[in-house]
Amino acid sequence: DTAVSQTPKYLVTQMGNDKSIKCEQNLGHDTMYWYKQDSKKFLKIMFSYNNKELIINETVPNRFSPKSPDKAHLNLHINSLELGDSAVYFCASSEQGAQYGYTFGSGTRLTVV
């Protein structure tokens, strides 16, 4: 079983569209995250949820809205997609405090054309 699974793996869409990326973890972790890795390969945290509560919200445009229906799921909805949103988005989860490390999903490659 995949510990942290993201869907879709690839997403190609036009500017201005709205899209969602789903993430699910079966590890029983309390905290989930979204990271963005741009073309220069820098990984930047976007959001973090702990038991469905938003705890980290970095400087991310309002067009990005995370939603956590339960602690095993953290979805990312993006409105009015722009070319600069093209990147690989990684979901991750951890025990509270992350003292044992994060488990990352395999990523969703978003291409906005």
The residues of the shown chain that bind other proteins, judged by CB under 8 A, are: 4, 30-31, 33, 35, 41-45, 48, 50, 55-56, 90, 92, 96-107
Q: Which amino acid is at 47?
A: F
Closest approach, Cβ 47 to other proteins, in A, equals 10
What is the number of alpha carbons within 13 Å of residue 15 lying toward its C-beta?
4
**Which of 28/100 has CB closer to other proteins?**
100
Closest approach, Cβ 99 to other proteins, in A, equals 4
**Which of 69/97 has CB closer to other proteins?**
97
**Which of 14/97 has CB closer to other proteins?**
97
**Residue/partner pairs of 53-59 with CB below 8 Å, 24 or more apart:** 55/31
What is d(CA 7, CA 62) in angstroms, rounded to the nearest whole number? Answer: 22
Closest approach, Cβ 21 to other proteins, in A, equals 13
What is d(CA 71, CA 62) in angstroms, rounded to the nearest whole number? Answer: 22
Closest approach, Cβ 28 to other proteins, in A, equals 15
Q: Which amino acid is at 29?
A: H
